[in-house]
């Protein structure tokens, strides 16, 4: 909301510099959004404040709305602008313009007046300057008055030339699919039944609450006008304007919760200005307002003020402050005030909102500090959160770098379980990832650009899949994953895979899941098992671990040895058929004796090509004093199962 | 007895010969095992033979064996020390040139900041919670006092999977509404996590970013507790001389709402490009949890009150690590040395 300070001063006089006034507005909830600018036109000069609006206060889209709060904050008088409260004569039947509202769910009030014999001309300088300082160009005195009242009071208005109406009748109805309207800006928009229009002879002249058309506009030939101030369904305005991509001063106000009562005050103010600036005579035309809204009454308990703020405010202070904000005290007792909420404060829903008002004016800066002192409640941090932190530390300890990549990816028709977005602005980001690897690969490529030879990366994050189409939350599964990528360019893929397995071994050891096995499934993917549970899978340059599956299988890290362990090492060199998977052999060896602690598989150069056998060295770490017996057992098992022989 | 004395003498002579030959750590270790191995060490064996001697012999021989044991152990230790000393001063080892650093793993800057913040809040008894990123409108909006069509939904352009009911959470407040619904007060919780907005990416915005949410519900919680908690939090993150500004700010899920700004640390409040010439940097939004929010989550707002706060983390991370483009935090352009 822009506020030319010269304009503001008409309603509230504060003896402060613009910067200080901006500070006051900021405290109140209207933060200075941009540096203070200055508008200048000849002798007219004014600083202009650009204040952030947070969607709640419809009345803060008017200068008087802001002025009223500022006056309360600065403890000074607020002067409401002069309005023409005289009841205008009712227009004669022959001159009446009929109002028919066919879409009663979209229009709350449509209030109209007729002005005859006005003189359309240029606006006086004061009016032009104020509007232009705000940012609206001057058109003519009638259009300028409607814009002026909009900025001053927050109510949009619309004037039409009666001579240009084909019939003395305005019908407000839902638009028809495909219907077109050329706006005042010369743009043609295509409408549908979700929006509503003001029509003449069944042709749209105005897109309701959003933008006027060109056909009935005011120009210098105009003498008789019909002026309307409407109150509409704000949700519809919001959706229609966003769909048609029309954002203007009207939309800005009509998509908020404005009160229908504001239409009458705005017409009174416009009447005062039109009669002053364009002459003529004002008549009351139809005010379509079928469902009047009763005033909102709320009870404000003193105990509640204390409960929320911790401050005991004197009753006099409370009363005075609220009256400055235009609340009316209906009744009071020793516990509470019964208050009528000002009609324009459509944002006030509950008692605590009134307390907000009190504290704003009290000034948040002066609210004291009090440290939390009660006993902390029971901890509810989920185990998985701490566990993932442990994985993170272990990965960093293994020399891996953590990255976070974008979960939003391009939709891929080949991935049936992919979760797609309906309204993404980018076709490259219209689905959720089902795999972290592609994102991490992109990071890896960047490391290559920096000439890194050995790169180890990881990400702990989610992948997202969809398993049903009931359109409920239960369709979707978010799986927590640790993805590792490791490539050392100086190594062959086989050597690299050894490094990847070492990372896996180190990580699982750190997580207390040191006993695991690797097994190739039917699809050729090597899976990581603890017992019968799959924890993830491994490739020559990557590891995927499912964190939630890993958690229950993890335990205390046993890496600290207090007593000397007489660990012995013996090698077993075997000749095996090349198709036999070494993980399976390793697994069988480990079952041969409880004294076996670990088995390393080492490459060997002594393959027997004539018999098509590969030579593998198994280095067995054990606690036994009698390895010869263990060796016998192992060889017997391996001979039976794999036809293996010792070399 | 004479036999034992002979053995002692022989050990001494033999030890001396071996000792002179020992040149490195391994040699001294071998020497140690030769005399002190539990299974076959010469002195170990000698000690094992002592019980067979008579009391008088024990009196005589015992101390001699003991002295021998102590002497040899001391000699081996001294030999090792001398070796270490010699190695340290070895003229053939040139330690004067520097090398590239050994590679250490690095945690993502955002997670470093989250961990730092968690550390603060856990000290004050907060739990850390998480929740789903694919969320329904009920937890993301409705229970947070945001009815359908409310103008404030414009503050958060939503990415929908099925409009209007299934969406990507726009804030971690959705986890707040889940926890308020699931648990009974008292509660102190922080929620770090990813959130999504339907925005076109630019230098400071992505369609996803990180939020940090916190809330407290208990009897007797007032806005004074909120101010104090956030004051301590900012001092923890930015130092004791931080200057904060408290102002009214509207958020639908709280009432009264409160915004907190920090005096720009770059320009000291004079205005610069970092603070968009404001002199202040918006840090977070907060407030007392809305009456309707508590009620719709099954908590009696007449008995319990609470406060909540939430902040975007990415700008904080950018400032802390000197990153000018938020996209670089997540698009893979950032590498660690």
DSSP per-residue string spanning B66-128: HHHHHHHHHHHHHHHHHHHHHHHT-TT----S--PPPP-----HHHHHHHHHHHHHHHTT-EE
Picking from A360, A395, A429, the nearest residue to B207 by CB comes out as A429
Contact at 8 Å (CB) between B158 and B169? Answer: no
What are residue A4's DSSP bridge partners?
A48
CB-based contact, A235 to chain B, within 8 Å: yes
b/e per residue, B83-103, with b = 16+ CB within 10 A?
beeeeeeeeeeeeeeeeeeee
DSSP string, A69-117: HHHHHTT----PPP---SPPPBPPGGG--EEEES-TTTEEEEEEEEEES
- Asked if B224 lies within 8 A of A462 by C-beta distance, the reply is no
Q: Concatenated DSSP letters for B259-306? A: EEEEE-TTTTTS--TTTTTSSEEEEEEEEEEPHHHHHHTT--TTT-EE
CB contact under 8 A, A54 and B250: yes
CA of A27, closest CA in chain B: separation in Å? 4
CB within 8 Å: A473 and B136: yes
Distances from the Cα of A149 to the Cαs of A157, A173, A306, A406, in angstroms? 8, 26, 40, 48
Q: In what order do the strands lie in the sheet with A98-101?
A: A98-101, A169-174, A196-200, A203-207, A211-212
Q: How many CB atoms lie within 10 A of CB A340?
A: 14
B105:A476 CB<8 A? no
* Cross-chain residue pair A443–B110, CB shorter than 8 Å: no
Burial call A288-327: b when 16+ CB within 10 Å, e when fewer: bbeeeeeeeebebebebbebbbbbebeeeebbebbebbbb
Question: Which one of A356, A377, A423 has the shortest CB-CB distance to B187?
Answer: A377
Put the strands of the sheet holding B166-168 in their side by side order: B134-136, B166-168, B160-162
> How many A-B residue pairs are in contact by the CB < 8 A criterion?
256
Spatial distance between the Cα atoms of A70 and B144, rounded to a whole number of angstroms: 29
DSSP per-residue string spanning A208-265: TTTEEBSTT---TT---EEEEEEEE-HHHHHHHHHHHT---HHHHHHTS---THHHHH
Q: Which chain B residue shows the shortest CA-CA distance from A23?
A: B247
* Contact with chain B for residue A380, Cβ under 8 A: yes
Map tokens 């980001």 to a residue.
Answer: A429
Rounded to two decimals, the pTM is: 0.87
Dist. CA A421–CA A429, nearest whole Å: 9
Closest Cα in chain A, distance from residue B278 (Å): 7
Structure tokens at B237: 């993150």
Residues 6+ apart with CB under 8 A from B170: B140, B156, B157, B158, B195, B196, B197
Distance of CA A578 to the CA centre of its chain: 57
Phi and psi (nearest 5°) for A118?
-85, 160
Residues of A in contact with B207 (CB under 8 A): 406, 408, 424-426, 429
Q: What is the pLDDT of residue A470?
A: 85
pLDDT score, position B324: 75
Note whether B105 contacts A396, CB cutoff 8 Å.
yes
Q: Does A390 touch chain B (CB under 8 A)?
A: no
CB atoms within 10 A of CB A336: 17
Radius of gyration of chain B (CA): 35
CB A208, CB A228: distance < 8 Å: no
- Contact criterion met (CB < 8 Å) for A54 and B152: yes
Nearest by CB: B224 against A310, A429, A454: A310
Q: ipTM score here?
A: 0.89
Which among A376, A381, A401 has CB closest to B106?
A401
| Interchain CB contact of A343 with B (< 8 Å) | no
Q: In Å, how far is B71's CA from the nearest CA of chain A?
A: 25
The distance of Cα B128 from the centroid of its chain, to the nearest Å, equals 13
Tell if the CB–CB gap between B291 and A454 is shorter than 8 Å. no
Asked if A396 lies within 8 A of B106 by C-beta distance, the reply is yes
Are the beta carbons of A397 and B145 closer than 8 angstroms? no
Give the separation between CA B102 and CA B111, rounded to whole angstroms.
23
Report d(CA A431, CA A412) in Å as an integer. Answer: 8
Q: Is residue A448 within 8 angstroms of chain B, CB to CB?
A: no
Q: Give the chain A residue nearest B287 (alpha carbons).
A: A356
How many angstroms separate the Cα of A261 from the Cα of each of A84, A256, A295, B33? 15, 14, 10, 102
What are the chain A neighbours of B259 within 8 Å (beta carbons)? 31
- Partners of B142 on chain A (C-beta within 8 Å) are none
Crossing angle of helices A141-153 and A63-73, rounded to 10°: 40
**Residues counted in chain A:** 647
Does the distance separating the beta carbons of A426 and B207 come in below 8 Å?
yes
Cβ <8 Å between B250 and A29: yes
Where helices occur in A574-624 by DSSP H, the ranges are 582-591
Please list, in sequence order, all residues whose beta carbon lies within 8 angstroms of the beta carbon of residue A526, skipping any fewer than 6 positions away. A518, A519, A520, A537, A538, A539, A583
Q: Which residues pair with B246 in a beta bridge?
A: B260
- What is the pLDDT at residue A459? 98
Q: Tell me the nearest-neighbour CA distance from A366 into chain B, angstroms.
A: 9
Residue ranges for chain B with pLDDT beneath 70: 1-2, 151-156, 200-205
Q: Block means of pLDDT (10 residues each) for chain A, length 647 residues? A: 96 95 95 92 95 87 96 96 91 95 97 97 97 96 96 96 92 96 87 94 91 85 96 93 91 94 97 97 97 96 97 96 96 96 95 97 96 93 96 96 95 95 88 96 92 93 92 93 96 92 94 87 92 93 96 83 82 90 89 91 80 90 92 93 87
CA distance B16 to chain A (A): 30
Indicate which of A245, A377, A417 best probes the interface with B, i.e. most B CBs within 10 Å of its own CB: A377
Question: Tokens for A619?
Answer: 């280095």
CA distance to partner chain B, nearest, from residue A442 (Å): 6
Q: Do B290 and A31 touch (CB under 8 A)?
A: no
Q: Which residues of chain B neighbour A26 with C-beta distances below 8 Å?
A: 245, 247
CB contact under 8 A, B128 and A385: yes
Disruptive mutation site among B108, B133, B252 for chain A (greatest number of A CBs within 10 Å):
B108
């Amino acid at each position: 909301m822009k506020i030319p300070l010269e304009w503001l001063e008409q309603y509230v006089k504060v003896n402060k510099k613009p910067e200080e006034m901006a500070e006051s507005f900021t405290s109140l909830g209207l933060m200075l959004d941009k540096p203070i600018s200055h508008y200048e036109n000849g002798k007219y000069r004014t600083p202009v404040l650009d204040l952030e609006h947070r969607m709640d206060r419809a009345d803060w889209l008017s200068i008087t709305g802001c002025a009223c709060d500022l006056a309360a904050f600065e403890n000074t008088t607020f002067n409401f602008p002069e309005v023409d409260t005289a009841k205008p004569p009712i227009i004669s039947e022959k001159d009446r313009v009929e109002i028919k509202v066919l879409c009663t769910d979209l229009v709350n009030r449509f209030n109209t007046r007729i002005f005859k014999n006005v003189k359309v001309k240029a606006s006086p300088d004061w009016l032009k300057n104020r509007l232009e300082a705000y940012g609206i160009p001057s058109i003519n005195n009638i259009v300028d008055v409607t814009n002026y009242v909009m900025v001053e009071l927050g109510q949009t208005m619309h004037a039409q030339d009666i001579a240009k109406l084909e019939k003395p009748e305005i019908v407000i109805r839902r638009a028809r699919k495909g219907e077109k309207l050329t706006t005042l800006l010369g743009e043609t928009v295509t409408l549908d039944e979700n929006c509503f229009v003001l029509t003449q002879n069944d042709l749209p002249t105005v897109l309701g609450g959003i933008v006027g058309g060109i056909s009935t506009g005011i120009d210098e030939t105009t003498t008789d006008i019909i002026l309307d101030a409407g109150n509409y369904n704000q949700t519809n305005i919001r959706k229609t304007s966003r769909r048609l991509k029309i954002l203007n001063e009207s939309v800005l106000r009509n998509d908020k919760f404005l009160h229908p009562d504001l239409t009458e005050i705005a017409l009174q103010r416009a009447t005062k200005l039109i009669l002053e600036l364009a002459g003529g005579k004002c008549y009351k035309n139809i005010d379509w307002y079928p469902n009047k809204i009763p005033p909102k009454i709320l009870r404000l308990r003193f105990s509640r003020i204390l409960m929320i703020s911790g401050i005991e405010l004197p009753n006099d202070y409370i009363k005075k402050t609220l009256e400055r904000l235009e609340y009316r005290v209906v009744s009071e007792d020793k516990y509470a005030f019964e208050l009528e909420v000002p009609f324009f404060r459509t944002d006030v829903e509950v008692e605590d909102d009134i307390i907000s008002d009190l504290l704003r004016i009290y000034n948040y800066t002066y609210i004291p500090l009090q440290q939390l002192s009660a006993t902390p409640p029971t901890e509810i941090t989920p185990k998985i959160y701490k566990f993932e932190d442990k994985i993170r530390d272990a990965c960093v300890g293994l020399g891996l770098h953590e990255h976070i990549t974008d979960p939003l990816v391009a939709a891929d028709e080949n991935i049936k379980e992919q979760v797609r977005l309906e309204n993404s602005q980018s076709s490259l980001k219209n689905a959720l990832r089902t795999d972290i690897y592609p994102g991490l690969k992109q990071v890896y490529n960047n490391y290559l650009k920096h000439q890194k030879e050995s790169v180890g990366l990881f990400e702990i994050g989610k992948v997202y899949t969809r398993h049903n189409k009931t359109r409920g939350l239960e369709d979707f599964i978010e799986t927590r994953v640790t993805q590792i990528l490791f490539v050392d360019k100086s190594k062959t893929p086989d050597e690299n895979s050894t490094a990847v397995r070492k990372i896996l071994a180190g990580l699982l050891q750190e997580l207390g899941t040191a006993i695991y096995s690797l097994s190739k499934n039917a699809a050729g993917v090597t899976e990581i098992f603890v017992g019968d549970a799959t924890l993830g899978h491994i490739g020559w340059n990557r590891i995927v671990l499912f964190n939630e599956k890993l958690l229950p299988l993890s335990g205390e890290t046993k890496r600290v040895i207090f007593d000397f362990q007489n660990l012995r090492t013996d090698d077993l060199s075997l000749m095996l058929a090349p198709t036999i998977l070494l993980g399976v052999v390793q697994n069988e060896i480990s079952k041969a004796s409880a004294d076996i602690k670990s088995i390393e598989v080492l490459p060997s150069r002594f393959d027997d090509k004539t018999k098509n056998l590969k030579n593998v060295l198994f280095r067995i770490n054990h606690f036994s004093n009698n390895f010869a017996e263990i060796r016998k057992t192992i060889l017997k098992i391996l001979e039976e199962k794999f036809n293996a022989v010792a070399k | 007895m004479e036999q034992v004395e002979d053995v002692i003498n022989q050990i001494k002579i033999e030890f001396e010969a071996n000792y002179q030959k020992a040149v490195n750590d391994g040699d001294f270790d071998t020497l140690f095992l030769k005399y002190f191995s539990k299974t076959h060490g010469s002195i170990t064996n000698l000690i094992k033979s002592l019980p067979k001697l008579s009391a008088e012999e024990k009196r005589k021989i015992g101390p001699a064996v003991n002295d021998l044991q102590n002497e040899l152990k001391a000699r081996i230790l001294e030999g090792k020390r001398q070796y270490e000393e010699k190695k340290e001063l070895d003229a053939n080892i040139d330690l004067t040139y520097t090398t590239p650093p050994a590679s250490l793993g690095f945690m993502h800057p955002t997670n470093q900041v989250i961990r730092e913040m968690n550390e603060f809040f856990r000290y004050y008894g907060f739990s850390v919670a998480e929740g789903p990123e694919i969320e329904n409108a009920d937890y993301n909006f409705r229970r947070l006092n945001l009815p359908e069509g409310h103008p404030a939904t414009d503050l958060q352009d939503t990415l929908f999977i099925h409009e209007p009911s299934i969406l990507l959470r726009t804030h971690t407040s959705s986890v707040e509404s889940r926890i308020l619904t699931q648990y009974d007060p008292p509660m102190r919780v922080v929620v770090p996590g990813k959130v999504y907005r339907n925005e076109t990416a630019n230098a400071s915005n992505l369609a996803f970013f990180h939020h940090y949410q916190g809330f407290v519900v208990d009897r007797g919680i007032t806005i004074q507790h909120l101010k104090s908690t956030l004051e301590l939090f900012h001092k923890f993150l930015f130092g004791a001389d931080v200057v904060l500004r408290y102002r009214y700010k509207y958020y639908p899920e709280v009432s009264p709402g409160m915004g907190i700004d920090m005096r720009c640390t770059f320009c000291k409040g004079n205005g610069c490009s970092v603070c968009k010439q404001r002199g202040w940097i918006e840090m977070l939004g907060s407030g007392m949890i809305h009456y309707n929010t508590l009620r719709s989550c099954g908590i009696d707002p007449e008995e319990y009150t609470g406060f909540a706060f939430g902040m975007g983390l990415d700008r904080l991370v950018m400032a802390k690590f000197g990153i000018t483009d938020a996209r670089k935090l997540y698009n893979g352009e950032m590498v660690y040395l």
